[in-house]
Amino acid sequence: MEKLAINGGFPVRSGKLEYGRQWVIEEDIAEVAQVLRGDFITCGAKVDEAERTIESVTGAKHAVVVSNGTAALHCAMIAAGVGPGDEVITTPLTFAASANCALYCGARPVFADVDRDTYNIDPEDIERKITVHTKAVVAVDFTGQAVKHKEIREICDRHHLIFVEDAAHAIGTTYNGRPIGSLADMTTFSFHPVKTVTSGEGGAITTDDDELYRKLVLAHTHGITKDPQLMEEPEHEGPWYYEQLSLGYNYRMTDFQAALLCSQLKRLSSFKERRQEIVRKYDRAFSDLDGIIVQKEIPESDTCRHLYIIRLDLSGLTCTRRQFFDAMAAENIQPQIHYVPVYWFPYYQHLGYEKGLCPVAEEIYAGIMSIPLYPKMTDQDVDDVIHAVRKVVSNYRKGGPLPGTDDERR
């Protein structure tokens, strides 16, 4: 059995492999440089091109690009009419923005538990959490896997709720053959550098609803418009005239961000293919590995996975999650944890939320760990990750080393 690097052994690799990173190539840089040399570096044609490209990729009627994924969620809440006294149901296993967006509008987040196998929000618990105050559901495609659209759509229709899909992880994923972005009332995306495609920072909202689209456009540009079809005084004093119709925000995306996004979207299919290839290798390596539980997927989801999460079966290991995490990092495979349950944070505790609200999510959180997954990884990188996981499991396995493990090889 190989000695762990954290205990004085040789690490699996010499250089650090992060859990995620962007892949920017010369073509991307050239597209950005072209915009920077032009006349419009914001409020120009590239933003329009990015929106049309997202519409094409997702099959949605409308797309609005914004400054980041959090802005996308906030705009969706504004368009949904969420306000004081309302409740918005979401999952605790997500980045805080999925819940914060309700608070921005004066509403109360309500947390529904997750499915024990997929880690996505449980439609049955959504139903249980609905009250007369419920206005919307924010369902997160955790790790990139599509939520159970059919079930959630039926619940939202029956209770007259707005269905917002937080697809920050899921661009490129399809559900029953339909692209994510064309299914919910509104779908939000993030283009942070570790996501499947990036614009540095950036986000988008898609919808097929004309009225929601109008509200999204206003929400991300101060509530201001020059569109004569929207203005209350279309007959005005000159071409400089504009109107503020609502209270909005400056959530615009720049043209050089849009240029990077358009260039990245050209490679979405190849990014998805490579991510799926790595996921298949990980699944084969870990599905029958003692001490590791692999996230399951619903058959309807053809997933472009943003994160690959292993879940430690701590009952079969002699270590804590922290010890496993530190051992992986010492092997130069840097893991991450996604996510701390949102209502565990001090801010939410001060609002009156308590631990224990979603027991399945909390049980899952106790053992999950994200390992490297991004398309720029080489086959050797992938093999190194698998080697490191097996090495750490072998050292901490209650039943002794894994069968077939070698003595120290380096």
What pLDDT score was predicted for residue 257? 98
Statement to judge: residues 252 and 278 lie in one domain: no
Is residue 66 classed as helix, strand or coil in its secondary structure? strand
Please indicate, yes or no, if residue 48 is contained in any of the structural domains. Answer: yes
Encode the chain (410 residues) as per-residue pLDDT tens digits: 899 999 999 999 999 999 999 999 999 999 999 999 999 999 999 999 999 999 999 999 999 999 999 999 999 999 999 999 999 999 999 999 999 999 999 999 999 999 999 999 999 999 999 999 999 999 999 999 999 999 999 999 999 999 999 999 999 999 999 999 999 999 999 999 999 999 999 999 999 999 999 999 999 999 999 988 888 887 778 889 999 999 999 999 999 999 999 999 999 999 999 999 999 999 999 999 999 999 999 999 999 999 999 999 999 999 999 999 999 999 999 999 999 999 999 999 999 999 999 999 999 999 999 999 999 999 999 999 999 999 999 999 998 998 876 544 43
Pairing state of beta strands 292-294 and 243-244?
unpaired
Which among 173, 177, 165, 169 has a CA at the least distance from the CA of 196? 169
Statement to judge: residues 261 and 164 lie in one domain: yes
Statement to judge: residues 261 and 281 lie in one domain: no
Instruction: State which residues form the domain around 292.
Output: 268-396
The answer to whether the beta carbons of residues 98 and 81 sit under 8 Å apart is no
Statement to judge: residues 208 and 305 lie in one domain: no
What secondary structure does DSSP assign to 211-235, as a single string? Answer: HHHHHHHHHTBTTEE--TTT-S--S
Residue written as token pair 């609502």: 246
Which among 122, 156, 166, 154 has a CA at the least distance from the CA of 136? 156
Please indicate, yes or no, if residue 92 is contained in any of the structural domains. Answer: yes
What pLDDT score was predicted for residue 405? 62
pTM exceeds 0.85 for this model: yes
What pLDDT score was predicted for residue 404? 72
* Domain limit, last residue, from 218, 245, 265: 265
For residue 98, CA distances in Å to 3, 94, 346 come to 41, 7, 17
Alpha-carbon distance of 43 to 45, in angstroms, equals 7
Alpha-carbon distance of 111 to 93, in angstroms, equals 9
The answer to whether the beta carbons of residues 276 and 98 sit under 8 Å apart is no
Statement to judge: residues 120 and 193 lie in one domain: yes
Calculate Rg over the CA atoms of the chain: 23
Alpha-carbon distance of 335 to 339, in angstroms, equals 12
Statement to judge: residues 283 and 306 lie in one domain: yes
What pLDDT score was predicted for residue 120? 98
Statement to judge: residues 273 and 306 lie in one domain: yes
CATH of residue 312: 3.90.1150.10
Statement to judge: residues 214 and 95 lie in one domain: yes
Q: Work out the end-to-end distance of the chain between its first and last CA atoms, rounded to an integer number of angstroms.
A: 11
What pLDDT score was predicted for residue 408? 41
Please indicate, yes or no, if residue 402 is contained in any of the structural domains. Answer: no
> What single letter denotes the amino acid at residue 352?
G
